Structures are given as structure tokens and as C-alpha cells.
């Protein structure tokens, strides 16, 4: 689905969260807005995942490798 540096973000990661949220709020989402809401939540979940991976990638850059290990 996306890459942040060398860290992948898989569609399955995003969709698991989207499915959880959709199920939790099933009663509040009108059937005619189901697909619209699913797309909006997918975009939001992807944005959060990218931001999280950015923090991870930045941390990997700042942490020096331990001696005796391959990077």
C-alpha cells in the first residue's frame, strides 16, 4: 500500500483497523454512507500509519548500530 523509507505499510494493516472501527460504529453509520465512511477511515488510518512509520524510520536513523552486528 505504501512505503516510508524502507518500512512497508501493508493494506492488511490498514484494513484490520478500518474493519474494527466500522464494526464498532455500525449502528451510527447509515447504510447509504457505508462505502463513503469506509474510504474516509481508510485514508485516515493510512495517514496515521505513515506518521507512525516516519517516527520509526527517524529513530532507526538516530540510533547507532551496536558493534558486532550488521546494520
Q: Identify any residues that bridge with 8 across adjacent strands, giving them in sequence order.
A: 3
Tens place of pLDDT per residue across the chain (71 aa): 899 988 999 999 999 999 999 999 999 999 999 999 999 999 999 999 999 999 999 988 888 877 765 55
**Distance spanning both ends of the chain, measured CA to CA:** 25
Q: Strands, DSSP E only, in the chain?
A: 2-4, 7-9
The per-residue pLDDT for 34 is 94
Q: Tell me the domain boundaries of the chain.
A: 2-62
Which residues lie below 8 Å from residue 29, measured CB to CB, with a gap of 6+?
22, 37
Amino acid at each position: 500500500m505504501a512505503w516510508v523509507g524502507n518500512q512497508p505499510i501493508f493494506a492488511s494493516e490498514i484494513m484490520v483497523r478500518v474493519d474494527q472501527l466500522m464494526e464498532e460504529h455500525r449502528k451510527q453509520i447509515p447504510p447509504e454512507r457505508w462505502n463513503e465512511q469506509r474510504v474516509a477511515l481508510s485514508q485516515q488510518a493510512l495517514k496515521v500509519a505513515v506518521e507512525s512509520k516516519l517516527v520509526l524510520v527517524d529513530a532507526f536513523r538516530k540510533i547507532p548500530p551496536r558493534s558486532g552486528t550488521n546494520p
